[in-house]
Copies of this chain bind each other. A is one copy, B any other.
Amino acid sequence: MEIDFKKMEGLIPAVVQEWATGEVLMLGFMNREAMEETLRSGDVTFYSRSRRKLWKKGETSGHSLRLVELRLDCDSDAVLARVELRGPGACHEGFRSCFFRRVETDGRLTTTATPAFDPAEVYGDGWR
């Protein structure tokens, strides 16, 4: 598997899309180890840039992403994980998708989605 991890210092962007609905849930980053762990375990695993370590999505919330199919783009520098979302939402702010805000033409942000769960219940008081 020849994947180009060089452009971003060992990382590639990984788009997560819900298999059943087509909804784009989130975007994370993978290094080679995270991708291998995702393929091996079937649970989508990222590399956290802030914590500088592997991060299995759902390890705190239980809202994991079960891999259905991993796709690679033409330049071999981005992947698309098509998944089954196990839980009410992928976003730590309580929404199904992290892309819950619309950017209006004038730059204002509008929240268009409705919350799917209470993040304080799932992540505890320190979730922010």
Q: State whether the Cβ of A13 lies closer than 8 Å to any Cβ in chain B.
A: yes
Is A105 an interface position by the 8 A CB rule? yes
CB distance from A5 to the nearest CB of B (A): 14
Q: Is A100 engaged at the interface, CB distance under 8 Å to the other chain?
A: yes
A83, CB-defined interface residue at 8 Å? no
Total interface residues in chain A, CB < 8 Å: 40
C-alpha gap A96/B37 in the complex (Å): 29
Q: Given contacts A24-B15, A24-B17, A103-B39, are A98 and B74 in contact (CB under 8 A)?
A: yes
Given contacts A1-B108, A71-B100, 10 further A-B contacts (CB under 8 A): A1-B109, A13-B27, A27-B73, A35-B103, A71-B103, A74-B93, A74-B98, A75-B98, A78-B98, A78-B99
